[in-house]
Amino acid sequence: MRKILVLLIFFWVSDLQGSSLSLTGRVVIDSKGVDKAQVIIREINEKKEYSAETDKDGYYQIKINEGVYFVEAKKNINNKNYIGFSGKNPILLTEDSYIGIKLLPESKLSKRKLKNTDIILLIKCFYDGKPVESARVYLYLKEKDIKGMPYVYSNLTNKNGVTKIDNLLEGNYYIVVRKKTDDSPLGPIREGDLIGFFSKNPLEVKEGYQYNLEIHLFEKVQDEVTKPVDTKKGIKILGKAIDENGNPVSGVYAFLYTKKEMGHERPVSISSKTKDDGKFELIAPFPGKYYLGVRQYYGGTPIQGELYGLYDKTYDHHINVFENITGILIKTKKILR
């Protein structure tokens, strides 16, 4: 009886601690790995914090529990502070994942006293050292809400990368900048969009002050495949994405799933973005039945206007993979709904 009780307590404690997973990634400046950068992984619900240090090539790896995390990295280089954030922040991590981070100059902050009780934020935005036009600044009351509806957002930045927010109440605000390629003020950040986090979040503001901020943005890119397949052991699937006239389609990804409900699970293989020839390569980790598709964006449900296509040689888009396959053609077209 005592042994059973001990086992029950063990499993109960293990369940409370959550499942362990491996988080890996790389920290870079201008595509070059940064050694001895400090990577900080904060669980925003339970307020737990993990940290790791990058190796000489900029890579890091750390074991953490499942949770909702905010991932950032820091490094002081020649007495200048650099800081970077994951474009997915905050991110729910439930399995082994890869998160890359690009270091940028730390945000600047100064303030001046006003002659009245107004609160003014004057924000200047940069990308690759140049002012960013047509970006928006978003304010949130809680860090965990950064992907949701903002408390308020600004007008578009001008040609000098500047915008203003006023009529605020005293308090603490989490500040995020976004420039979306579709120009919509709301909605998810997609590959090619720009995003930036105020590196001193949250900002506490008080009546009678103007706060001047400089925030650096980075481009949202596709992360490396979460669980890379060993190309020496896997089975290759070579194909081409084409349009309705048979012309090659660039800028799309091919995906391989084990279940028919594509998009409801993580793919087992993702190709690189197609180039002008439309060609893609997928690696099936083992022989069997898969479901094959092509789409323009990575992650989430396909949206209106997105290029999308499915393998059409079978009624349910499956493909049997037992040896290397070549010559696959997948016709893409824009989603109209």
* DSSP states of 155-179: PPP-TTSEEEE-SPPSEEEEEEEEE
- Whether the full predicted model's pTM is greater than 0.75, yes or no, is no
The predicted pLDDT at position 130 comes to 95
> Six-digit token pair at 295?
């789409």
For the chain, which domains are there?
18-102 (2.60.40.10), 108-219 (2.60.40.10), 235-334 (2.60.40.10)
The predicted pLDDT at position 67 comes to 84
Q: Give the Cα separation of 327 and 154 in Å (integer).
A: 49
For residue 128, the 8-state DSSP code is: T
Q: Are 240 and 281 in contact (CB under 8 A)?
A: no
- Residue 13 backbone phi and psi in degrees, to 5: -65, -40
What 3-state DSSP class applies to 130?
Answer: strand
Report the largest interatomic distance among the alpha carbons of the chain, rounded to a whole angstrom. 75
> Six-digit token pair at 309?
């296509």
Q: b/e for 95-120, b at 16 or more Cβ within 10 A?
A: eebbbbbbbbebbeeebeeeeeeebb
Radius of gyration of the chain (CA): 23
Q: b/e for 27-64, b at 16 or more Cβ within 10 A?
A: bbbeeeebeebbbebbbbeeeeebebebeeebebeeeb
Within its chain, how far is the Cα of 84 from the centroid? 12
Q: Give the Cα separation of 183 and 181 in Å (integer).
A: 5
The predicted pLDDT at position 268 comes to 81
Neighbouring residues of 326: CB distance < 8 A, sequence distance ≥ 6: 238, 239
Where are the extended beta strands (E) located within 128-219? Answer: 130-131, 136-140, 152-153, 162-165, 171-179, 194-197, 203-205, 209-219
The predicted pLDDT at position 165 comes to 95
SS3 percent helix, strand, coil of the chain, rounded to 5, is: 5, 45, 45
- Residue 316 backbone phi and psi in degrees, to 5: -110, 15
The predicted pLDDT at position 217 comes to 94
Burial class (CB in 10 A: 0-12, 13-18, 19+), 225: middle
Per-residue pLDDT of the chain (337 residues; tens, 9 = 90+): 444 444 333 333 434 345 578 888 889 988 788 999 999 999 887 678 899 999 988 899 999 988 889 999 999 999 999 999 988 888 888 778 888 899 999 999 999 999 999 999 999 999 999 999 999 999 999 888 888 789 999 999 999 999 999 999 999 999 999 998 877 787 777 778 899 999 999 999 999 999 999 999 998 875 444 444 444 557 899 999 999 999 999 999 999 888 777 765 667 888 888 999 999 999 888 888 899 999 987 655 677 788 999 999 988 899 998 889 999 999 999 887 6
What 3-state DSSP class applies to 275?
Answer: coil
